[in-house]
Amino acid sequence: MHEDFIKENDPQERLEKLKPQYLSTFINRYLEKDCCQRRARDFCERCLKPALAEHVNKRLGIRIVDDLSSSEKASGYRSRACFQLSVLQKLLEELDFDNYMKYINDYESFVKAAIRRDISDHYGNRESVEALEAEILSNIIKKVRGALEMPTDGGPSTVSDFVANLCRLLQKDLVIPRDSLEMILFQFTASADPSQFSADIRDSLSELEQNLASEFKAVNMEEKLSKLQVKPQDELFKRVFGCGTQCPFCGVPCEAEGPTHRKHFASAHRPQGLRRRSDHITKILGYSLCSSDVVSNALFSNSDTNGKLVPFRDYRQHYPDWLIQPDPSAEASDYWKFVFKEFKHQLARLYDTKPAHLPEDWGKLTKEQALESIKGMYSM
């Protein structure tokens, strides 16, 4: 009996006996750990990855707009006035009749084309877009890491609670797909350790970031830009185009800020002959400016007046939404006077009229004076 007792309590004997039990616990632990890591990878792949890709897509358009607006090269996007100035300056440098006609006769298409060109000039090389993507991705991954590092002591006791908390912390930035999330949570037992799951997700994040970056690289630029949730071309257009309503006489677009302005307004009106306005009888192209006409004895007639001649100074009876101010200064319209003078003959040919008889002082206007007048007008 004594021997039996010794045999039963011999440490070596006892360990030998318990060996299979330890082994199975060890295997179970190992398998469970492996399972937890696999679920963490699944969570990254099926929940975080689509949410991160969507976040980058959503932010990229906005970042392109901000980036372009603050860049030195495309300084025209800082404000509507800057845009006007940069467009008019470029037109003046090139002094191309067809470009001016596109600008004058179809301002909206002209602006859209200019924006498209600037975006492709600026982001023609994919590195600049990839750099923006990488920056957005790295910032959001930092946020995810921060949320994962929240203290778990006394915090969520189950994996479900932990994930619910994580989603809540990230809800402003990430929309985690519900279905995939439930599929993953379903595989956890009630006793699964949330802090282990959190640590496993953290371990998988760098790989996830690399995978996403290489997936972004595989998409060509055109496809990338066309799939953006916030389209930079539309945002920039809204920013610089403004109201866009054109003056009924000369076609200059309204420059008023804000969607609720009561009156349309433009800093400088253009010689009306730029838009085919000629004398009915003499067929000579007119050169008068709306801003001078409204304080003169001139008359106008068109389909809005049923062909009846109406004094210009009464224009608001027909166009109550427009406020045409008399020329604020003698130089304000130098830009358009110069352009009109330069293209006097092309305009007459285009509109099949006789060239305008311009005042003598228009003939002396220089390109420099034209440039000075728009710089003054857009107060740069």
Could you list the residues that contact Zn ion (CB under 5 A)?
243, 245, 247, 249-250, 254, 256, 264, 269, 290
Nearer to Zn ion, 57 or 105 (CB): 105
Least Å from the CB of residue 248 to Zn ion: 7
- The torsion region of residue 352 among left (phi > 0), alpha (psi -120 to 50) and beta comes to left
Compute the least distance from the CB of residue 85 to Zn ion, in Å: 19
User: Of the two residues 104 and 119, which places its CB atom closer to Zn ion in the complex?
Assistant: 104
Pick the closer one to Zn ion by CB: 243 or 284.
243
CA distance 377 to 266: 11
Q: For residue 322, give the 3-state DSSP assignment.
A: strand
Give me the least distance between CB of 368 and Zn ion, in Å please: 25
In the complex, least distance from residue 290 CB atom to Zn ion, rounded to whole angstroms: 3
Q: Which is nearer to Zn ion, 59 or 269 (CB)?
A: 269
Q: b or e along 285-322 (b: 16 or more beta carbons within 10 Å of the residue's beta carbon)?
A: bbbbbbbbbbeeeeebeeeeeeeeebebeebeeeeeeb
Give the angle subtended at the CA of 43 by the CAs of 40 and 46, to the nearest 5°.
145
User: Of 154 and 259, which has the nearer Cβ to Zn ion?
Assistant: 259
State how far the Cα of 53 lies from the Cα of 61, in Å rounded to an integer.
13
CB of 57 to Zn ion, least distance (A): 33
Output DSSP code: residue 274. Answer: G
**How far lies 137's CA from each of 177, 211, 296, 328, in Å?**
18, 11, 62, 51
